[in-house]
Amino acid sequence: MSRNKELGRKIRLLKQVKSNRRVPGWVMMRTDRRFVQNDKRRNWRKNSLKL
């Protein structure tokens, strides 16, 4: 992908980067470990984005 991206595409990519995190530890503690893993976790090699 080229270095120069449109602003809309940059914003959408940034949203995907932020959502690709693990569940924070304080959330696990607060929910008594009901939410242990993020089901929408994505690997950059295995899954491609539809932008």
Taking only the tens place, the pLDDT of each residue in 20-48 is 999 999 999 999 999 999 999 999 999 99
* Count of structural domains within the chain: 1
Residue 15 has pLDDT above 70, yes or no: yes
Residue 18, domain CATH = 1.10.1620.10
- Residue 26 pLDDT: 97
Contact (Cβ atoms closer than 8 angstroms) between residue 41 and residue 22: yes
Residue 4 has pLDDT above 80, yes or no: yes
Query: Three-class SS string for the chain?
Result: CCCCCCHHHHHHHHHHHHHCCCCCHHHHHHCCCCCCCCCCCCCCCCCCCCC
Residue 1 has pLDDT above 70, yes or no: no
Residue-number span of the structural domain to which 16 is assigned? 1-51
- Residue 3 pLDDT: 85
Residue 2 has pLDDT above 80, yes or no: no
